[in-house]
Amino acid sequence: MSRLIKQAAVLALATVLTGCATSPTGRSQFMLISPEAAIVESETAYLSTVGELDREGKLVTDPELVGRIARITGRLVTVAEQTFPASRDWQWSVAIIDDPDTVNAWCMAGGRMAVYTGLIEQLQLTDDELAQIMGHEISHALANHTAERMSRAIATSIGVVAVGVAADNSATAMAGAALVANVALTLPNSRTAETEADSIGMELATRAGYDPEAAVTLWQKMGSLSDKRPPEVHSTHPEPDNRQAALERQIPAMLTLNPDRTKAPVTEIDMVL
């Protein structure tokens, strides 16, 4: 590695370590990568994931279920775009994954989502409860939590890159960069980010016309399932009992936002079939 390249790498590392941002709730965020860059990386990961699922025949095409998910998510997207104008340029899409054993849903930066059939079937979700969980996942994207996770991956691998630079070992430096790409999008959200997404998601779902009390019944069901076997939620998630209590305290304020449960218009989104 030439001296010029080493100096450039060290400068890049120093520059990366200066990032910061503020979440929609006013929380200071550790941000070493821009939300725009996170969207680009998420798109690549998403297309790769759904492409593999398509080849395996695991994408649900049942018109009734597809229509239900499109309707609920489309209302949430309408409210998201009204509240967070930057998201109007996102490529909103949802893949329904045929996996009855997996209790999970997620939303990457840029609005690319997935929901597993196990989530709906095992928990017997109502539309209101499904809106709460999809609102929660959408909120992770709106609050730039993907970029935060990628920043954590950079922070954990930055030492590897720095060692490679200092030791004049380009292979080690490249390994650090690869670690960022491979690990960033699979890291769990922090407990703080989960709590933040709970609040933002509850508001999204309420404004979209869904019952805020469903946020509590959702986590009652999730807690009941956890007694039998852990669902696809990470240890960084708040305990279900604590989560229920926190959400329940927010219900009175939520009820004032849309007391008549007026349903938001449905924004057309791409259903990945």
Question: What DSSP letter does each residue of 14-36 carry, written as one string?
Answer: HHHTT--EE-TTS-EE--SS-HH
In sequence order, what are the residues at sequence separation of 6 or more whose Cβ sits closer than 8 angstroms to the Cβ of residue 250? 199, 202, 212
Q: From the candidates 81, 137, 148, 203, which is the catalytic residue?
A: 137
| DSSP bridge partners of 113 | 94, 107
Question: Is residue 137 among the annotated active site residues?
Answer: yes
Residue 152 tokens, joined: 């954590």
Provide the phi-psi class of 264: left if phi over 0, else alpha when psi is between -120 and 50, else beta: beta
Active site (catalytic) residues? 137
